A and B are shown apart, each in its own frame.
Chain A
């Protein structure tokens, strides 16, 4: 996979990201489901057990404190205060149980203060006259019990005890969790606190898990995309004109829907190539077929000439002229249609545009029998360009010839070449009459003539500029016409060509085709 395609904007639409999110979502949902199920299970099946065990435990604690109080009282009677206190502290430190014995006047045997909550319980016992009343309370993770005891000599003592409770067996989470583990706001109903990432160990394990999942998703996405990337590559190849692009066998044998896509692509490519080839062949055949009668026509004309009188001679001249026009017309038309089918990139090379323009200037000046200064070249002395040399030469030659034709026998055409960072600007202007504003955009249309009358004077067919425009556009450049704005009359053609056609084609293609697999 190529990383340059992972732009932030596109990343969130990428297959890898989608797979990763799906994985994480499923894991989270599974986790939640698991917790919900186990909690429900616990609640259903272990609740009763919990209740039973809780009851048993309460019973045990009750008996234990009762026994402790009775024993304590006895020790106080027989062993004295010190013995009583040491007994009490032993119970408290080893068994986490506290008890207080209170005399009728409300003071404790241990001469300590009891908590307000305990005092309230004592009051409640005292309020009920007679009988063996026991009060049991659960408060703040402790078990409270209060009641009355008979002492020696028919004195009555009130006792109140407190036992700190451990969590009952079979429960993973506290019924009464310590403050650090209060119920999370997320799952209040469950009464559990669910945030597993509490310790460093949890974080490390979690990170390892996340990395493993990410890597797995990466390779999964990558393997899914590999055949798709192959198809994408071939598509681009075809789009840039190589109709022989086909999906390799290794993608097709892997099977599945992607293999089908590969087969379909190859079918389409095959058909397209056939169509293009047959079109090209048709063009060739047409041009060949048209040439033959025209060639014969010309020879026959020459044969007819010697035997002619004057009137016939002028007629023959006319026939020759029209046949030449027909000839030129076919040429230009074929050139135009060839441009439509052309893959500019296959014939591209690096060359010096200025050198080519110099050569063009010489050729045209000679062809139109003009003195050398008729075409002037200004600007950069060298400008390197990568493109189809033949096409660009032809385009510029057509424009220059046009300028020469319309500026009359004293015409001067100036070609200015300016290279900028990624493109080259060429301005060609003549000193002819120029054109009305509304005609300026139209001159690049095939067969467009400004006025019918000029056709005969200036020669040409109206296709030169159309061909030029097509050629320039094929190179990813721009072309436009305007009137000269320096006070003189004349037409100005502005060209802009990218310096490297290879670069442009790449970008151009990626802009045109949506990055569906990116």
Chain B
């Protein structure tokens, strides 16, 4: 049973979700208070945090910011339907993905499973050509350890950012379709006006640097998807 932390002030919902997710192999701990939730999230005892960003006390975004200051635990935020601004804001603050309320519980399970797979499963066919570790430009990425370094320094990235970078570097020099990226990285289908990948890419730009040797690392190809541009000595 995978430990999950749910931070939501709706106690009844919490109980229902606990019941449902336990049937899917996830053990849910509920925190209905923001402060309590932050404390538990930082404990490191969980695989993932589900956070309702509409929490009145210690607003969801504040909590997210504080959490991200010292932890890279995967975060799925529950947002209000139709408030796209919340989504973008949350992603920019470091959430890995979002799920608008009311959500389909099966979708939630699918995403939890996707994260779980990434964290625990080993998929041999996904290795880069130099064995486990992928090295492109000044970035080194180890899928097993889930560690990424840039200029020999370890980077703090979220789960989604890691997976995204992994995909892009694996296919450095090639364009990957947006739909494929969303499915692989976030484990779900894209929705209309889905800007999640955009936000994660701009976050990656900030973390590894937008340019390398005068060239833009990440490129968005209009109408298709994204790529990590390779230099002459790349793939």
Contacts and interface: CB of A to CB of B under 8 A. Distances in A.
Interface of A: 287-288, 291-292, 294-300, 302-303, 306, 323, 327, 330-331, 334-335, 338, 355, 358-360, 362-364, 366-367, 390, 393, 397
A287 B80 contact: yes
A367 B103 CA distance: 17
Given A288-B80, A291-B80, A358 B222 contact: yes
Interface residues of B, number: 27
A296 B16 contact: yes
Contacts of A393: 193
Contacts of B193: 359, 363, 390, 393, 397
29 contacts: A291-B80, A291-B102, A292-B10, A294-B102, A295-B10, A295-B13, A295-B102, A295-B103, A297-B102, A298-B102, A298-B103, A298-B104, A299-B13, A299-B16, A302-B20, A303-B16, A323-B102, A327-B81, A330-B81, A331-B81, A358-B223, A362-B223, A363-B192, A363-B193, A364-B192, A366-B179, A367-B191, A367-B192, A393-B193
A393 to B, nearest CB: 6
A390 B84 contact: yes
Interface of B: 10, 12-13, 16-17, 19-20, 23, 54, 80-82, 84, 101-106, 179, 190-194, 222-223
A327 B80 CA distance: 12
Contacts of A302: 20, 105-106
Contacts of A367: 191-192
Contacts of A331: 81-82
Nearest to B17: A299
A159 B20 CA distance: 147
A334 B104 CA distance: 20
Chain A binding surface SS class = helix
B192 A397 contact: yes
Contacts of B81: 287, 291, 327, 330-331
B226 to A, nearest CB: 14
A387 to B, nearest CB: 16
A331 B81 CA distance: 7
Given A288-B80, A302-B106, A331-B82, A296 B190 contact: no
A299 B80 contact: no
A275 B80 CA distance: 23
A291 B190 contact: no
Contact of B101 (A291, A303, A364): A291
What are the 10 A-B residue pairs with the smallest beta carbon separation, nearest first? A295-B102, A299-B16, A294-B102, A302-B105, A363-B192, A291-B101, A299-B105, A295-B101, A296-B13, A298-B102
Contact of B102 (A327, A363, A364): A327
A303 B23 CA distance: 9
A418 B172 CA distance: 38
